Amino acid sequence: MSRKTLSTVLQLILFLSLGIGLIVWRYNGMTAEEKEQMFAAFGHVRWIYGIPIFIIGFLSHWFRALRWKLLLQPLGIYPTTANTTFAVLIGYLANTLVPRLGEVAKCTVLAKYEKVPADKLVGTIIAERAFDLVCLVLIALVTLGLQYDIISPYAQKLYQEAFLSSDGSFIWTRMLLLAVIAAGGILAIVLLYRKIKDSKVGHIIKGIGEGLKAIGLVRHKVLFLLYTLLIWSMYTSAIVVGFYALPETEQLMPLAGLAVITFGSIGMILTPGGIGAYPEIVARVLTFYGIPAAYGFAYGWVSWGAQTVIVLILGLAALILLPLYNRTSHASVEEGIRTS
């Protein structure tokens, strides 16, 4: 087994263990009444809502593929919409196994079938993730602004635990340490790059840098922002439609969906596909709105399950259709050349 493969396997074991550990910890911490409520909620699930959620899920991936194409254009890369969509779907499938593996898979797939340099693709993925992080912060601020009375007590508690000492004073040393670490990391990267910029690794880093610049060179910025709005609208819509799948959560307002997106995204990052972490975080968020923890946990699992099923179905379909599509496309091109 190669070192790279061993590292991937160890990551998988670590993150899966974390997710399973959270599940066991949460379940053991529930009372007998809460467990009964949770399983009763599972029995009330209205599966018909899975159809619109599936459609919304696919649209979110499709809009992401269209936005990615806009990022690639300034680099002189013009992939087909089909190949870009397949790459996005396969990337999400890979992320259900190992967090962040999907980014590598997306680039590898598109580079292979579109015959383009993978290093430039990596840069656009980093740029896309950075932009999404900014969007998530904006959504969090909007959520807090519109629901300050509901969320602020929990936000203040989080702030106090992270940055205040036992006597209530601000921990400047912690902030200073974080700033020093960040500045030191940036300086080390710059100095290292200067030494290796002419090497193979240096060229790869340069390609990533060009990909990062692409976000500022996007030709259709309004369309880029529109796709971004549609992506996050689809995410929120899937959550809100999911509320109607359980009688215990159907009374929740769309603004609660923004809170679930804001905090639930953290759970999707912590463990493979959000297993264990996502339902736990969502359950805690829904308690803000008066939903008992057992019902919130049930909704968290239903929501996580729907997202996972969508990713598995679409990802596996993409794995099958991708080579078939490209084989057919190449055959059509060759036929056109022979007849011209």
DSSP letter for each residue of 156-181:
HHHHHHHHB-TTS-B-HHHHHHHHHH
Lowest pLDDT segment from 4-13, 102-111, 251-260: 4-13
pLDDT confidence band for 334 (50 / 70 / 90): very low
Q: Kindly tell me the burial class for residue 89, based on how many C-beta atoms sit within 10 Å of its own C-beta (0-12, 13-18, 19 or more).
A: buried
Tens of pLDDT, residues 62-114: 999 999 999 888 888 899 999 999 999 999 988 877 766 788 889 999 998 99
Give the DSSP letter of residue 185: H
CB 303 within 8 A of CB 282: yes
Q: What's the whole-model pTM score? A: 0.76
Residues 200-252 pLDDT 10s: 556 556 655 655 566 677 888 899 999 999 999 999 999 999 999 999 899 99
Cβ–Cβ < 8 Å for 8, 97: no
Closest Cα partner for 46 from 302, 264, 282? 302
Q: How far apart are CA 24 and CA 328, in angstroms?
A: 48
CB 114 within 8 A of CB 79: yes
pLDDT tens-digit readout, 175-203: 677 677 778 877 776 777 677 666 655 65
pLDDT tens, residue by residue, 125-135 = 888 887 888 88
pLDDT of residue 314: 93
Are 220 and 134 in contact by the 8 Å Cβ rule? The answer is no
Residue 300 has pLDDT above 80, yes or no: yes
pLDDT at 60 over 80: yes
Of the pLDDT bands very low, low, confident and very high (cuts 50, 70, 90), residue 154 is low
Specify the range with the lowest mean pLDDT, choosing from 9-13, 32-36, 233-237: 9-13
What is the pLDDT at residue 1?
A: 56
More confident residue, 14 or 317: 317
Cα gap 250→205, rounded to integer Å: 49
Mean pLDDT score, 45-65: 94
At residue 337, does pLDDT exceed 50? Answer: no
Question: How many percent of the chain have pLDDT more than 70?
Answer: 71
Alpha helices in 44-171 (DSSP H): 50-72, 81-95, 101-114, 118-146, 148-163
For 277, residues 6+ apart whose C-beta sits below 8 A from its C-beta are: 18, 19, 22, 266, 267, 268, 270, 271
Q: Which residue has the tokens 């905090």?
A: 263
Residue with the larger pLDDT of the pair 68 and 2: 68
**Tokens 């030191």, residue located:** 184
Two tokens, residue 2: 């190669």
